């Protein structure tokens, strides 16, 4: 961290250098050509560029798409939960194997990757804050109002980066600017707590000073609503529902947001920044560059026409697939014991006969999970094993949410489409409604909780299902027989009965189970699951039940003894290299 902070202080982000030349007197007074030096950057235009460079750190780069992926958080939120396996082959990214088996040690490189990503973002925010203050004291300041909103943006981002650190490492150092720290050097800040108080303080500054509309009309900027959502989430993670409730209510009653008409619009390149999006990572490709979310490319098929050079990571679990089954009334089977084993093509060649399950399913299953016999985003009917990189290791499924539709391939004009321009909805209105439902249960307002959940279920019901029913399941890879006028499977989803006292909104425990399951279905393979299980206090029994179920299906879970220990495995260790670098300052999680 010390090295990162010092380096960024010198480079002024984005490679903007304060270069001093001493060859002759001219270089003492004249800035070298092609360099964005201090006097250039200390201007309204320069400051806007530096702020954009801080937002850019939310995306990371190719080298950080696994352990450091923060916005999609697919490694920790999904791959370490019961949603998905690492996938691909056993030897590919072997450090990931240890993480998904809950055996990661402080020397695991993913730990360092995540730490570096978080504190690189923090450092950029802090250096830019100090540069802003210097600019305002100089001869070419920003208008006072814009300087205030810019400081609010930077403190929002600083809080967000620390938030991504405290999700993974139980106790973190909260690093502020050298101005704010005074005599305490940044590298001397200890990790004595989770950082929540300071996260909330930075978010409150953002709340108090960010406008309700996007700054400069740029949709990727933070605004008041984004700050409300992140601060509400911080309270939810601390089980402070009473503090979260007014923040959620302010978003809901504003009338500025609504659920998108189609569930799939949350993963569609042509419906980005829609009515449901509160804060969205903006991604784009051109002929020469790209800014893709971590999860694109590496989580695509490696085989088949839709591969785009993908690597075959992040394969949904059988446990997740079976969670989408519903009863005859179109309601979730909340008790795992009531679910039946659903047919999969595990171990079945694409040329062999296989008929997908005929059980009733929530239609969201086929917008999240790519499976045999169902259309894959317009690329064709999925033939199963022929498109899977290594089925014996990763299972028969793949994720859909990071891949683009075939019709949108032309929008990805950087390379093959491995780095697509698909945005990621970091915070969306569906989360606000489900968090508010949790608050209602805490207040024993069970009917209100049901109403919020039913808003989510009604949207799923009214969304267009995946179409294309295979009338023959032979030769899927070459000549499938498909009726595209019919849904691809037996779909059914209905809201819970609008009857006071009806199950599962008959008591708080059952109501919470319904909310938890709805959250799981709505946000499957996105950036929630592991952290939700932890904050709900059900992580150990849930993950151990998943291991027991899927070890009969997945060989990597059956090898050795995989057990989730709530005391040891709920957080990951601080990287040992960082402990060594800051001897006597950082304290390792005692579980390690």
Longest alpha-carbon distance in the chain: 84
DSSP 120: H
How far is the C-alpha of 76 from the C-alpha of 520, rounded, in Å?
Answer: 15
CA angle 315, 103, 119 (to 5 degrees): 85
Burial of 307 (0-12, 13-18, 19+ CB in 10 A): buried
pTM: 0.93
- Determine phi and psi for 485, rounding to 5 degrees: -90, -5
Whole-angstrom Cα distance, residue 38 to residue 489? 61
Buried b or exposed e, range 138-158, using 16+ CB within 10 angstroms: eeebbeeeebbbbbbbbbbbb
Among the residue ranges 120-129, 460-469, 548-557, the one predicted with the least confidence is 548-557
Q: What is the 3-state secondary structure (H, E, C) of 86-147?
A: EECCCCCCHHHHHHHCCCCCCCCHHHHHHHHHHHHHHHHHHHHHHHHHHHHCCCCCCCHHHH
Q: Which of 67-76, 308-317, 346-355, 379-388 has the lowest average pLDDT?
A: 346-355
The two structure tokens encoding residue 5 = 């902070």
C-alpha 226 chain-centroid distance: 15
| Matching CATH number, 2-66+96-255+570-581, of 3.40.50.10240, 2.60.40.420, 1.25.40.390, 3.40.50.300 | 1.25.40.390
> How far apart (Å, rounded) are the C-alpha atoms in residues 9 and 125?
11
CB 251 within 8 A of CB 278: yes
Q: What is the pLDDT of residue 554?
A: 81
**Percentage of the chain lying above the pLDDT 70 cut:** 91
Evaluate the omega torsion of the peptide bond into residue 190 and state whether it is cis, within 30 degrees of 0: no
Asked if the model's pLDDT at residue 25 lies above 50, the reply is: no
The pLDDT score that the predictor gives to residue 505 is 98
CB 165 within 8 A of CB 111: no
Domain boundaries, the chain: 2-66+96-255+570-581
d(CA 495, CA 455): 8
Tell me, rounded to whole angstroms, the distance of Cα 234 from its chain centroid.
15
Q: What mean pLDDT comes out for the span 347-351?
A: 90
Under 8 Å CB-to-CB from 479, ≥6 apart: which residues? none
Average pLDDT over residues 349-373: 95
Average pLDDT, the chain: 91
What is the rounded average pLDDT of the residues 279-283? 95
Residues 6+ apart with CB under 8 A from 371: 321, 344, 345, 356, 382, 384, 396, 397
Taking Cα atoms as reference points, which of 54, 57, 38 lies closest to residue 46?
A: 38
Average pLDDT over residues 44-58: 94
Confidence at 61, pLDDT banded by 50, 70, 90: low
DSSP class of residue 433 equals H
The rounded percent of the chain whose pLDDT value lies above 90 is: 82
Start-to-end C-alpha separation, the chain: 21
Tell me which of 391 and 34 has the higher pLDDT.
Answer: 391
Q: Is the pLDDT of residue 7 over 80?
A: no
Q: What is the mean pLDDT of residues 395-418?
A: 93
Kindly indicate the confidence band of residue 12, based on its pLDDT and cuts at 50, 70 and 90: very low
Span 488-514, average pLDDT: 97
Q: At residue 1, does pLDDT exceed 70?
A: no
Cα 440 → chain centroid? 25
Residues 256-268 have pLDDT tens digits of: 999 999 999 999 9
CB atoms within 10 A of CB 588: 16
Exposed/middle/buried for 26, CB within 10 Å: 0-12, 13-18, 19+?
A: exposed
d(CA 570, CA 80): 10
CA distances for 546 relative to 81, 100, 345, 542, angstroms: 9, 12, 19, 6
């Amino acid at each position: 961290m010390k090295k990162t902070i010092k380096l960024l202080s010198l480079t002024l982000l984005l490679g903007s250098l304060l270069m001093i030349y001493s060859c002759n007197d001219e270089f003492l007074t004249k800035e070298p050509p092609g360099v964005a030096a201090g006097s250039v950057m200390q201007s309204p235009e320069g400051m806007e560029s530096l702020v954009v460079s801080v937002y850019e750190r939310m995306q990371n780069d190719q080298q950080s798409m696994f352990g450091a992926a923060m916005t999609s958080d697919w490694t920790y939120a999904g791959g370490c939960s019961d949603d998905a396996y690492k996938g691909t082959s056993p030897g590919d990214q072997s450090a990931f194997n240890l993480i998904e088996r809950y055996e990661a040690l402080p020397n695991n490189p993913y730990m360092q990757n995540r730490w570096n990503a978080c504190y690189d973002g923090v450092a950029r925010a802090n250096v830019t804050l100090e540069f802003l203050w210097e600019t305002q004291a100089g001869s070419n300041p920003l208008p006072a109002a814009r300087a205030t909103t810019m400081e609010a943006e930077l403190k929002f981002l600083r809080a967000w980066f620390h938030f991504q650190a405290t999700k993974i490492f139980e106790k973190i150092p909260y690093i502020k600017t050298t101005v704010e720290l005074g005599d305490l050097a940044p590298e001397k800040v200890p990790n004595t707590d989770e950082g929540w108080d300071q996260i909330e303080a930075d978010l409150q500054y953002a709340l108090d000073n960010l406008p309700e509309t996007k700054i400069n009309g740029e949709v990727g900027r933070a605004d008041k609503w984004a700050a409300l959502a992140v601060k509400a989430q911080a309270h939810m993670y601390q089980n402070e529902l009473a503090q979260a409730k007014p923040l959620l209510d302010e978003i809901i009653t504003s009338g500025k947001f609504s659920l998108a008409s189609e569930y799939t619009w949350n993963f569609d390149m042509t419906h980005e920044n829609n009515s449901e999006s509160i804060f969205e990572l903006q991604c784009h490709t051109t002929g020469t560059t790209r800014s893709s979310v971590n999860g694109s490319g590496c989580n695509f098929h490696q085989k088949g026409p839709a591969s785009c050079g993908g690597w075959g990571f992040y394969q949904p679990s059988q446990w997740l697939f079976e969670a989408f089954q519903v009863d005859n009334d179109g309601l979730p089977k909340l008790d795992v014991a009531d679910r039946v084993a659903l047919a999969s093509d595990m171990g079945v060649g694409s040329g062999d006969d296989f008929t997908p399950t005929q059980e009733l399913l929530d239609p969201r299953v086929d917008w999240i999970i790519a499976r045999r016999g169902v259309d894959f985003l317009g690329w064709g009917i999925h033939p199963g094993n022929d498109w899977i990189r290594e089925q014996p290791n990763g299972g028969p499924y793949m994720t859909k949410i990071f891949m683009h539709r075939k019709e949108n391939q032309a929008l990805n004009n950087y390379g093959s489409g491995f780095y697509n321009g698909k945005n990621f909805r970091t915070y969306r209105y569906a989360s606000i409604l489900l968090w508010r439902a949790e608050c209602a249960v805490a207040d024993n307002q069970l009917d209100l909780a049901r109403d919020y959940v039913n808003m989510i279920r009604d949207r799923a019901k009214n969304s267009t299902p995946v179409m294309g029913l295979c009338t023959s399941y032979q030769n899927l890879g070459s000549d499938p027989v498909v009726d595209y006028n019919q849904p691809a499977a037996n779909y059914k989803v209905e809201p819970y009965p609008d009857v006071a006292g009806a199950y599962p909104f008959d008591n708080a425990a059952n109501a919470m189970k319904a909310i938890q399951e709805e959250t799981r279905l709505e946000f499957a393979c996105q950036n929630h699951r592991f952290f939700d299980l932890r904050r709900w206090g059900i992580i150990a029994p849930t993950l151990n039940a998943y291991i027991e179920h899927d070890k009969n299906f997945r060989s990597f879970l059956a090898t050795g003894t995989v057990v989730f220990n709530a005391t040891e495995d709920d957080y990951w260790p601080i990287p040992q290299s960082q402990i060594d670098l800051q001897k006597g300052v950082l304290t390792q999680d005692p579980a390690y």
